[in-house]
Amino acid sequence: MVTTKAIAKVAAVATGLAMAMSMLSFAPMAQAALTPSQVSAIISLLQSFGADASTIANVQASLTGGTPSTPPSSSACSFSRSLTIGSQGADVTCLQQALIAGGFSIPAGATGYFGTQTRTAVASWQSSKNIAPAVGYFGPISRAAFNLGGTPGTPGVPGVPITGNGLKVMLASDSPNGIALVAGQAIGALGKFTLVNPTGSEIKVTNLSFKRIGVSNDSTLSNVYLYEGAKRLTDSAGVSNAAFNFNDSNGVVTVPANSSKSVSVLADIAASTAGQQVGVQLVSVASTGTLDTSVVFPITGGQQTVSAATLATVDFNTTTLPSGTTVSPQNDYVVWQNTVTVSTRAVNLESFQLRNIGSIKREDIRNFRLMVDGVQVGSSVASIASDDTITFDLSGSAKRLETGGRVIKVVGDIVGGSGNTFQFSLRRASDARVVDTDLSQPVLATANGSTFSARSATSATIDSGTVSVVKANSSPSSNVSLGATNVKWATFELRAAGEDVKVESLDVQANTSADHGLDNGKVFLNGVQVGSTKDLTDATDVNFTFGSSFILKAGEVAIVDIYADAKTTTGAAFTTGETAAITLGTGSSNGQGQSSLASINVPTADTAANTITVSSSALTLTKYSGYGNQTLIAGASNALVGSFTLSTGATEGVNVNTITIALSSDEKATITDLMLKDRATGAQIGTTKPSPTTSNDFSTNFNIAASGTKTIDIYANIKSGSNIGSWIANADAAGTGSSTGTSVDADAADLQTITVGSSVITGAVNSGLTPDNANVIAGTAGVKVGSFRFTSQYSPWTVQEVKVKIPANAATSVNAVVLKYKDAAGVNQTVSQSLALSSGAAQTHSTATFTGLTFYVPLNSDANLDVYVDLATIASGATSGAAISVLLDDDEGFKAVDSSGSSDTDIGSADLNSAGTSGEGTMYVRKSLPTITSTPVTTALNAGAEQDIGQFTITADAAGDISWDKISFTVNKTAAVTLDATTTVKLWQGSNTVAGTFGTTTGDLVTQTQMFTTSATSGNIVFVPTSEQQIGAGQSATYVLRTTVGGLAAGSNLSVSIANPSTSITTGTASAVGVTMASTPSLTWSDRSVITSVHDTTTSDWTNDYLVKNLPISIGNRSVSF
């Protein structure tokens, strides 16, 4: 809140002040209206609000009676005194306004009072101008730098449009001011001026008139020059009555359109002038253009002070090289050299300029390099400038010349000028800008200990032209393909120097290892054939004549290529491994200088190219090993009928342009839509042949790199009904060498043997996945009965229709038949169908007919069709004991289709029966199931009555009650052990005995006192209850077998189990199943599923021990301890 209030207050005050300021701005008060303290208070308040300086200045001016105005340009200021703290007046105001306009902050504005703020601003400005010390004292140096009466110059900024209506002239921002010069030095900096051309045309400045200023004499400046950077623009000008000027009707300096240049006035400072002050003032400029209206002369530079000091000395030697009067055209020729003696201290060579005073053209000598003591310094100079000078500007990286003798030389490449002269000369001492390393001022060089005079080499005449011939670095060296045509064998570089040279002929010699020569030799000059084509006879100079078509331009490198076929002169093929080398033979007056007309030998000596080996090319076609012989079906679409690999040799890559697939008449009649595809990418190659012929050419355009391979597949549609046995494509390919362009042809090859035949689908019971026989509870859904494996050959197949058969007597126990399989996408599919009683005349089976299936059998693979049944409950009609197996009808209701659309309606010669393998594929329906478990009696065997010899439990499934009516025990015993049979053997259920009769398998009743003979070691004892024993759904009954045991001895053993002797199901009445002592079942039981009558042993829902869970089972194992 406080902040908000404060802001509100400030805003109110500011608003009021703004209003006041506005009023003040438009209604200046009389100066006497406010006291200085009042004005100061207002100004302080404005400053606290952050008002900009110009606003404050205007307000202050208004308050103090001044006139608000735009800041004056510095040129409007006139400084007749130095300004510092405490100074007041219009000059201070003007300075302040100029500083503010220049971006130097004076928070109080242009008050006319030179205070601390103004001093700080002045100090900042001085720093920006490199004025030292930058302490804020506005003295003579600063006043000069501020361009008294002139405009501080700003060179044009690249990219920024230069405005104005004519040539602008201004003092350069880096014009020297107050620097200390040294009496006797060379080219002391007096002033620097910037010329700006805002127009669209270049302006030649033809006159620049200057005036010496400062406490000095005309003689103080012994030589005055105008420089542009390191380059001297003018000869020295004399100073007379303080005036000097530079004139050149062609332009002392030319300022390009929309550009700028800066020129410096440099002068040698006479000795014994220490204490003087000297500067320059530009008083007028004449040019081919008009001056901008803003330009006001004179433009005065700063004044420099001349001091006394001992400078280093630099003395050029009397002798300047070279001294020869003629010189052949050549590279790296020393055009000027002198030994310079440096004394007192080291100097820095900052620039070096020579002038050619010979007759050569400026481009005749090129590539000048400055060397000091044998080492190049600075950058090369490409050619002689339009003023005939070459200037090395080392200002960016001056070369330090230590005291002593230093060899300075300039070398260049003489490329032209035959018959003309050149002579390079150091014209002025100042052309060698050598700066004292201590005093940082240029040293006035001397010559031979005296006043400098020009140091010139001897004038030399350039001899007639020469031609150098060398093997090019790019001259071929790689192997050449056998039989290749138009092969480049050699590349030479020819360079004329001194003058253009016409080469009238060349001798070309081919040296081959087998002395065959080369066929069809050609000479190419810069890529164009010159002369005629000739065979290159082995080891013999073959002269190619060119007329006037072979002119070498002086100083330019010409490329000469020698081509020929990689064949003998008779056109015969080479043998792999042979070599050839090209040599340009020594010429004999076969060249002529185009200026001198002198004869020249081209080349002057035999010049050999590389020896090249001829090797066989290499496009090889082979049958692709990754694709073997195939059997494909008639009618197959887009069948892969062949595959081959193209390989190239190491010599070069090959552009394959033709592939030919050859077929016999029968073969071509078998297919349509023949096409090629890149095996790696699948991209088609060439165009499809809808109706193939015996020779099918495919135009191709692909490259195989050297030592590369590409495998190509051949596809076609195989016509339906085709059956011609073997089908073999023959492939061929041709192309051209990637480098040589020579034709290459692969040897044709027969590809894979394709046997055109019919696809096959076969079916069989999948024994491994067909479940073992089992009892299943009625009402269970999804009971797997059989699994059938279908196998395809030569084509994928889709089984669309199947007829499933189930024995008719089991049909009422099945609600539906369910098929499970995978479709072509691998997705599990489940379909169901009801049964109909209609299979065969005898109607032995019920059938479920499936149509619209999508059962997919992959190519040359197999897939499973699993058959399930949903069982009916007993309530819904299932019959206990129904034996459910499934069959696939082999010749009815079956349909499968291959990839060509051909169908098969016959699985095989017989139905596929899930129960075909014993013990598999039949499910027996039960309303409920018994499970027998036991915790065997294992206590020590004791003699006596009521001995437990076995214990077991029968559990009825929760689905329903069960009954049992016979149980048989298998007894194993030690021979001496006796088991009472007549009276004491009992089957107990809890505390009650189960009423019934025991017997053995040898008789219906136990008539003897012992179950078995004493000597017997095993036997069965059978119990048949008086009435069926019922166990409720989900309930259990536990029984204990007891008898009297005797005859024990140490080690006696008695074990009892319930066996599982039935190997097949029997269903019927109890008697039919077996309740006699001699009958097989170990357990006769019923699921009590019959409801049409009261259940008893006569109902037909009884069955045997087959598939009863946990049978056989041990129920007792007792021993007598030793």
Partner 1 sequence: MKRAYAIGGSIAVVILIIGGMWWYRETRVPIALPIAPEDNIASWNFKGAYTGNPELTAKAGAEIAWLKSLRGEGTYTDYELYVSIAGAYQLLGEGGKEYEYLNRAIAKDVGNSTGLAWNNMGALFERLGALHTAREAYSRAAAIQSQVLQYHLAYLSFLVDYFPEDKTAIDAALAAAQKEFGNLPDFENIRAQSPS
Which residues here bind partner 1, judged by CB under 8 A? 768-769, 771-772, 774, 776-777, 779-784, 815-817, 820, 828, 830-834, 848, 870, 872-876, 929, 931, 955, 957-960, 1033-1034, 1091, 1109
315: amino acid identity, one letter: D
Closest to partner 1 by CB, 221 vs 959, is 959
Nearer to partner 1, 260 or 815 (CB): 815
Start-to-end CA distance of the chain, whole Å, equals 108
We find the least distance from the C-beta atom of residue 832 to partner 1, in angstroms, to be: 4
- Whole-number Å distance between alpha carbons of 244 and 234: 12
Q: Is the peptide bond before 298 cis (omega within 30 degrees of 0)?
A: yes
- Nearer to partner 1 among residue 487 and residue 871 (C-beta): 871
Minimum separation from the CB atom of position 952 to partner 1 (A): 15
Least distance CB 923 / partner 1 (angstroms):
8
Residue closer to partner 1, measured from CB, 870 or 892:
870
Amino acid sitting at position 28: P
Hey, is 482 helix, strand or coil?
coil
**DSSP secondary structure code for residue 219 in this structure:** G
Euclidean distance between CA atoms 57 and 51, whole angstroms: 10
For the CB of residue 1094, give the shortest distance to partner 1 in the complex, in Å. 12
Nearer to partner 1, 621 or 959 (CB): 959
Residue type, 136: G
Could you tell me where the beta strands, DSSP code E, fall in 421-552?
421-422, 424-426, 432-436, 446-447, 450-451, 455-456, 460-462, 466-471, 480-481, 487-497, 501-503, 505-512, 518-525, 528-536, 542-545, 551-552
- Least distance (Å) between residue 916 CB and partner 1: 16
- Smallest distance from the beta carbon of 765 to partner 1, in angstroms? 13
Nearer to partner 1, 90 or 781 (CB): 781
As measured in angstroms, the least distance from the Cβ of 1079 to partner 1 is 26
Q: Distance (Å, rounded) from C-alpha 489 to C-alpha 610?
A: 8
Cis peptide bond N-terminal to 1025, omega within 30: no
Q: Could you tell me which residues are beta bridge partners of residue 529? A: 524
- Complex with partner 1: residue 243 or 774, whichever CB lies closer: 774
Distances 1089 to 736, 875, 924 between C-alpha atoms, Å: 89, 9, 13
Token pair 């298998």 in the structure block, residue: 970
Facing residues of 255 across strands?
203
Is the Cβ of residue 383 or residue 1110 nearer to partner 1 in the bound state?
1110
Residue appearing with tokens 């005898």: 842
Running DSSP on this structure, what letter comes out for residue 589? S
- Closest distance of CB 741 from partner 1, Å: 55
CA angle 272, 273, 274 (to 5 degrees): 100
Least distance from C-beta 1034 to partner 1, angstroms? 5
* Least distance from partner 1 to the Cβ atom of residue 877, Å: 9
Closer to partner 1 by CB, 661 or 857: give it: 857
Q: For residue 653, what are the CA distances in angstroms to 596, 659, 709, 852?
A: 49, 16, 10, 55
CB of 817 to partner 1, least distance (A): 8
For partner 1, which is the closer residue by CB, 628 or 919? 919
| DSSP string covering 876-942 | TT--TT-EE--EE-SSSS-EEEETTS-EE----SS-EEGGGSTTBS-EEEESS-EEEE---B-SPP-
Cβ proximity to partner 1: between 365 and 765 the closer is 765
733 vs 776, beta carbon nearer partner 1: 776
Answer for the pair 801, 901: CB distance below 8 angstroms, yes or no: no
Question: CA 1078, 1079, 1084, 1089: dihedral to nearest 10 degrees?
Answer: -140
Query: Measured from the CB of residue 796, what is the shortest distance to partner 1 in angstroms?
Result: 20
Q: How far is the CB of 756 from partner 1 (least distance, A)?
A: 35
Q: Phi/psi of residue 610, each to 5°?
A: -75, 150
Q: What is the DSSP-derived secondary structure letter of residue 74?
A: G
Q: Please report how close the Cβ of residue 1097 comes to partner 1 at its closest, in angstroms.
A: 21
| DSSP SS3 for 664 | coil
- The encoded tokens of residue 237 equal 């000008």
Nearer to partner 1, 362 or 1109 (CB): 1109
Q: What is the token pair recorded at 104?
A: 């130097």
Measured from the CB atom, is 898 or 957 closer to partner 1? 957
Closer residue to partner 1 (CB): 625 or 828: 828
- H-run or E-run covering 726: strand 725-737
Q: In what order do the strands lie in the sheet with 487-497?
A: 466-471, 487-497, 557-565, 518-525, 528-536
Q: What minimum distance in Å lies between the beta carbon of 957 and partner 1?
A: 7
> For residue 26, which amino acid is it?
F
- Report in angstroms how near the CB of residue 835 gets to partner 1 at its nearest: 8
- Whether residue 952 contacts residue 1113, with contact meaning beta carbons closer than 8 Å, is answered with yes
Closer CB to partner 1, 182 or 888, in the complex? 888
